Every structure is written in structure tokens, then in C-alpha cells.
Amino acid sequence: MDETEKALFAVYAEIDGFERPLIQTGLTFARLIDDVVYPYEDDKPFFIDGVSVTKKKVRRLKILRQRDAFRTAFFDLHHGMRRGDVKVKKILGDQYYVRLEAALREGCEDVTSQIIKAFDVKIRPRLKDYLPDRNELIESAAIVFWEGLKKLGGL
């Protein structure tokens, strides 16, 4: 299994009309491109954390590559909410977004610019061919992304 197949990404978005950020985790590279980047860059509606979003409503969008530290922190947070005593569950529930943001900051790497660059280089020039050539375009964008990370020392 190569890096692209096992890597997971998260999206953090601040959206007009929402007090808290929208956060979606556990996206593969292909799902990230299909569900967020392609529609965002094509100015189409898309979903983050179950909320329909348009590019116009986005104040801030971060794409994060999840590392092992995130997986551990995320598991610990949810494990504590399921297995802890009632007081601990209440505290974790009240602090959920603060703790989740802390886990994202600590356990993820911001790769927004690298993802957008890979999209711009490999997918945007062939946007009209996206659906018929989806797999090929996503694979070529993934190569550009991973090569860019290697050059920046992110791998």
C-alpha cells in the first residue's frame, strides 16, 4: 500500500452563519478531491460535516494531512466519551471542539497549498474531463502532491 492509499486528510472550515468551525476527518486523497476540492474550485456546492457549503460562504478553509498523533488523540477523545465516568463524559462533551481543534493542530500538517497546487497543475487544465478521466487525474494530482511534500521535507 503506497502513501496515497493509507493517508487520511481532514478539512477545517470556518463558514459564514456558523459559530463553530466545520470539521471533517478521515478523508482519503480521492474523497478529498471529489468531495471538497473539485467542487470548491469549480464553484459548486459541497458538504463538510454534513453541511451544504458554497465557496462564497467559506471564510477559511484548511486541508490537513492526519498523522499518527492525530489518530491517537482522536481515539483517546472518543474513547473517553464512551468509556469514562459521567463527569468525564460531560467535560469532554462540553470541550469537544476545543479538544478536537487541539488534536488537529498537534497531530496534523497543513497541506492546503500543496493540495491546491496539485489540483491546479493536474486537474484544473482538464476540468471538463474530470468525470470521464477521474481516476487518472486524481492519481496524477496525488503524485504532484507527494512529490511536493517530499521536496518541502514533509515526508
CA distance 12 to 21: 7
Give the three-state DSSP class for 50. Answer: coil
Work out the mean pLDDT of the chain and round it to a whole number.
91
Strand 58-66 with 108-110, pairing: antiparallel
Residue 66 near residue 106, CB atoms below 8 Å = no
Which triple of cell numbers denotes residue 121? 497543475
In this prediction, residue 103 carries a pLDDT of 96
User: What's the rounded mean pLDDT across residues 71-79?
Assistant: 94
Closest CA to 121 of 37, 50, 17: 37
In this prediction, residue 2 carries a pLDDT of 56
pLDDT tens profile 103-151: 999 999 999 999 999 999 999 888 888 878 888 999 999 989 998 888 8
pLDDT surpasses 60 at 25: yes
In this prediction, residue 1 carries a pLDDT of 40
pLDDT band at 86 (very low <50, low <70, confident <90, very high): very high
Sign of the Cα pseudo-torsion (113, 101, 79, 32, in order): negative
pLDDT above 70 covers a percentage of the chain that reads 95
pLDDT surpasses 70 at 28: yes
Give this prediction's pTM.
0.87
In this prediction, residue 21 carries a pLDDT of 94
Which H or E run contains 14?
strand 8-15
Which triple of cell numbers denotes residue 47? 458538504
pLDDT surpasses 90 at 76: yes
